[in-house]
Amino acid sequence: MVVDGRVGAGGSGEPESSDSLRTFGAVVQALREFHGLSREEFGNLVGFSKHTVASVELGRRMPDVDFVEAAEAVLGNTGALRKAAVHLVRQVGLAAWFREWARLEKTAITLYTYECRMIPGLLQTEAYVRALSDVHLPPLSDQEIEALWTARADRQRLLTERPNTAISFIIEEHVLLRRTGGVDVTRGAIDHLLEVAELRNVEIQVMPLVRPSHSGLQGTIHLLETPKNKWFAYSEGQENGQLISDPKVVSILQARYARMRSQALSLEDSLSLLQRMRGDL
């Protein structure tokens, strides 16, 4: 599951850094240096390469149980590393490739999102996020799922905390008909969409299931406008994403999105459809 830049691990195979990983690494480094050991010397003692030691100390790698136990024995056996390791969390909320988009998103004055795979991250409920997490491959731990939802909820604050940002969503009807997570999760998801649609700065449109063709068939579209009126786009695949600044490409995506707004159901008809779908559950 990699949508809106959320992923358990980046393409490098190492987890995204987090405050807990960096803090743990700093403690390992401080203890190693206190004992007068180089990374290579320490690595030989704990049975790991100096490169692995460096990755742990820099907060780029989640230390496994063997590393923690070996480090404890070499660095005084105080129990500090063992206790700290329990609280380590990968930063699964934002993948490395998504961070720049997320940064721009926080101050955007216009946000456009077309989603054909699932409910957009900015509109997902906690139950929906957990339903998606249950089928994530590779499987996520409870800590990773908690971190994922925390990051998602933090992003969603911009819907209410930036009332002057014009936000538009176009969602495929089949995304809701799939009933991801079951009837109760879908019912809650639709209720949330109807609630968010009441915000003055948010527009939600549904692309009907029966539609011979439309301008978004080539995939999802994410667009934003900065306070300096510069437009960016974002494209995402299974295990990667790309921030797009080329004006020609952004212009093409803007044209497609503009056409789609006329091809989707109107705001009123979209809300009516959502209400009917809610009633059918």
The Cα–Cα gap between 1 and 137 comes to 7
Burial of 73 (0-12, 13-18, 19+ CB in 10 A): exposed
pLDDT at 11 over 60: no
pLDDT tens profile 184-202: 999 999 999 999 999 999 9
- Give the confidence band of 9 by pLDDT, cuts at 50, 70, 90: very low
- What pLDDT, on a 0 to 100 scale, did the predictor assign at position 15? 45
pLDDT at 266 over 90: yes
Mean pLDDT across 9-34: 73
The Cα–Cα gap between 156 and 151 comes to 9
- What pLDDT, on a 0 to 100 scale, did the predictor assign at position 210? 86
- What pLDDT, on a 0 to 100 scale, did the predictor assign at position 218? 85
Of 197, 261, 242, nearest in space to 97 by CA: 242
- What pLDDT, on a 0 to 100 scale, did the predictor assign at position 93? 54
- Give the confidence band of 2 by pLDDT, cuts at 50, 70, 90: very low
Burial 115-139 (b: 16+ CB within 10 A, else e): bbebbbbbbbbebbbbbbbeebeee
- What pLDDT, on a 0 to 100 scale, did the predictor assign at position 119? 96
- What pLDDT, on a 0 to 100 scale, did the predictor assign at position 236? 82
Mean pLDDT across 149-162: 90
Q: What is the mean pLDDT of the chain?
A: 87
pLDDT at 251 over 90: yes
Tallying the residues shown for the chain, one arrives at: 281
- What pLDDT, on a 0 to 100 scale, did the predictor assign at position 234? 92
Tell me: cis bond preceding 138? Omega within 30 of 0 counts. Answer: yes
Where are any strands of DSSP class E within the chain? 110-115, 166-172, 202-207, 221-225, 231-236, 241-244
Neighbours of 238 (CB within 10 A): 9
pLDDT at 12 over 50: no
pLDDT tens profile 57-92: 998 887 877 899 999 999 999 998 988 887 775 545
The Cα–Cα gap between 281 and 265 comes to 21
